[in-house]
Amino acid sequence: METIMSTIVEIPMNHIVIVLSISTIALIFGHIKLTVLINYCFIVYSGRLWDLNVFGDPAAPDLNAPAIAFTGIWIIIVLLAAVSLVFHRN
């Protein structure tokens, strides 16, 4: 059984360039909270959220307990970050 720590995640270089570009533009315009939220969302996106074989072959689903736990924890972290950034006052 494959554990989360031994999972190899390959992130395409164009995704990294896009996230860095969007984050840099947001920082230039002074939107620090937006930059943090963009980076959290990118971590969830690149962390195999969309790589799960949910709608593929039903005979060989890719949904196992560690994958579901990993995805659920990251979604909760992004939601908590979004809520805390919305209600934080400078």
* Residue 37 falls inside a structural domain: yes
Q: How many domains does the chain have?
A: 1
Residue 46 lies in a domain: yes
Question: Which structural domain, as residue segments, surrounds residue 25?
Answer: 12-87
Quote the Cα angle for 37-38-42, to 5°.
115
Q: What does the longest C-alpha to C-alpha distance in the chain come to?
A: 52
Query: 48: exposed, middle or buried (C-beta count within 10 Å: 0-12, 13-18, 19+)?
Result: middle
Amino acid at 17: V
Is residue 58 one of the residues assigned to a domain?
A: yes
In a domain, 72, yes or no: yes
Q: Residue 76: inside a domain, yes or no?
A: yes
| Helix pair angle (32-44, 13-28), 10° resolution | 160
In a domain, 1, yes or no: no
Position 4 in a domain: no
3 domain-assigned = no
Question: Where are the extended beta strands (E) located within the chain?
Answer: none
Q: Give percent above pLDDT 90 in the chain.
A: 12
Q: Taking 60 as the threshold, does the pLDDT of residue 16 lie above it?
A: yes
pLDDT in tens, 37-77: 888 888 777 765 555 555 455 555 556 676 677 778 878 88
Half-sphere exposure of 16 (CA within 13 A, CB side): 4
